[in-house]
Amino acid sequence: MRGVRFALVAILVLSLPAQTKAADNAKQIIGTWDLVKGDDIPKGAKGIAEFTKDGKLKFTLEFMGTKIVAEGTYKVDGEKLTSTLKGPDGKEKTETDKIKTLNETTLIFEDDKGKSAEFKRKK
C-alpha cells in the first residue's frame, strides 16, 4: 500500500510542470503579435495576430497593397494551438499547430508538415 501511495504522489508531482506549462501557454499567448517570418508567408508580407482572452483570434496579412483579414477562434491545450479562421471568401479552416516557443517576447509554432511561423509580441 505504501508503494502505491508513493507511485501516486510521484505521478502527481511529475504532472504538475505539464499542467503549469499548459496554463502558462494559454495566458501567455494573449496579446498582439507581429509576424517575423513564416515558411508559407511571402517575403515582404506583414502580418499581425491578435489573441484575446475570450478565445477570439484575428489574423491580418498585408502583401503588395492587398490586406487580408481572417477572424475566428483559438484554443490552447498544452503545446497544441487549435485555430478556426474564416477568411474573406467565407470559408472556415481549422488547424492544429504545435507551440515550439512561447514566452514574453516570442511565439513560434509549427504545423503538421513541419512548416513554422515566428512572431514577436507587439509593444
What pLDDT, on a 0 to 100 scale, did the predictor assign at position 21?
52
Which of 50, 72, 52 lies closest to 60 in space, CA to CA? 50
Number of Cβ within 10 Å of residue 33's Cβ equals: 21
Residues of the chain where predicted confidence (pLDDT) is lower than 70: 1-23
State pTM to two decimals.
Answer: 0.79
What pLDDT, on a 0 to 100 scale, did the predictor assign at position 4?
40
What pLDDT, on a 0 to 100 scale, did the predictor assign at position 5?
46
Domains of the chain plus CATH, in order, are 2-121 (2.40.128.280)
What pLDDT, on a 0 to 100 scale, did the predictor assign at position 22?
52
CA pair distance 50, 71, nearest whole angstrom: 9
Q: Give CA 101 to chain center in angstroms.
A: 9
